[in-house]
Amino acid sequence: MQFPDMASLVGQIAGPIILIGVGVFAGRVNERRHWRSLARREHVLREVPVLNIKRLPDGLEEQVEWSHLLVGEVVIASDYFKSFVASLKSLIGGRIRVFETLIHRGRREATLRVVEQARSEGANLVMNLRLETATVGRGQKQGMPMAEILAYGTAVKLRQAPLQ
């Protein structure tokens, strides 16, 4: 029976560890970049109010020039490291924060897409904003966990911009 020498053993262990480290680092960098992008875009788009009301208050209905449906959609996926951590966490139960942040980022992105579309079309209000979430990937045997987040609402162009 022949044992591998120490150099080949270290090489077999170090390679996967380095790849995991690079993956974790790249995932964190991309996630932080996305958080900063969301914050920048939300700051710019705060001039378009997003309301969760179904009807305009009395007196504003007469000021509507036009209105129509807007849809913003995003599919966001987990990375291997987060999925691994989540599978370990699911063994003991409790909140799986890595997926909570994933869904939170997806909701913000989908909402921003609706508001960006409203702004580009000249709307000065988005109302009746709703969010729907669906699972796209189901576990590791079928690929990485992914979620589709769909945001939809009504773009409204008022003759006089609403008070902010």
Over residues 77-105, the pLDDT tens digits come to 877 777 777 777 778 877 878 788 888 99
Note the pTM of the prediction, 2 decimals.
0.77
Within a domain: residue 163?
Answer: no
Within a domain: residue 119?
Answer: yes
In this prediction, residue 4 has a pLDDT band, given cuts at 50, 70 and 90, of low
* CATH number reported for the structural domain that contains residue 16 in this entry: 3.30.110.70
Residue 116's pLDDT is 94
Closest CA to 144 of 75, 97, 80, 95: 80
Within a domain: residue 19?
Answer: yes
Within a domain: residue 139?
Answer: yes
Within a domain: residue 1?
Answer: no
- Residues of the domain holding 82: 6-158
Residue 138's pLDDT is 60
Residue 98's pLDDT is 78
Residue with tokens 């036009």: 66
Distance CA 146, CA 135 (A): 6
Residue 34 has pLDDT above 60, yes or no: yes
**Number of domains into which the chain is organized:** 1
